[in-house]
Amino acid sequence: MHQWRTPPPLVALNIVVTGDHAPSKPSLIVTAAADTFPTNVPPLLPPTRLPDDKYPDRIPVTIVDTSSSKDK
């Protein structure tokens, strides 16, 4: 019988956000990081680290925005 191994604990989590050219991706990322809805956001954000106390396990979470072909 196959025995399942316990996965190693997470030490970091990277989330990549992809989608069409629109302000919704950066707005979503800023809202997740700051708990506020932004009024002005750039079309492409640098990698954004969420606050360490955002989740109970305190796993570092970084959200990476991607550019659409129209952003290039």
What confidence category does residue 5 fall into, taking pLDDT thresholds of 50, 70 and 90? confident
- Domain residue ranges of the chain, discontinuous segments joined by +: 13-65
Distance, in Å, from the CA atom of 39 to the CA atom of 23, rounded to the nearest integer, reads 10
Q: Is 64 exposed, middle or buried (0-12, 13-18, 19+ CB in 10 A)?
A: middle
Residue range 7-43, pLDDT digits in tens: 777 788 899 999 877 778 899 999 989 888 888 888 8
**pLDDT of the residue at 38:** 86
Q: What is the mean pLDDT of residues 57-61?
A: 87
Q: Please tell me the pTM assigned to this model.
A: 0.74
19 vs 5: CA distance, rounded Å: 35
For the cut 90, the answer to whether the pLDDT of residue 6 exceeds it is no
Exposure string (b/e) for 20-42, b if CB count within 10 Å is 16 or more? eeeeebbbbbbebbeeeeeeebe
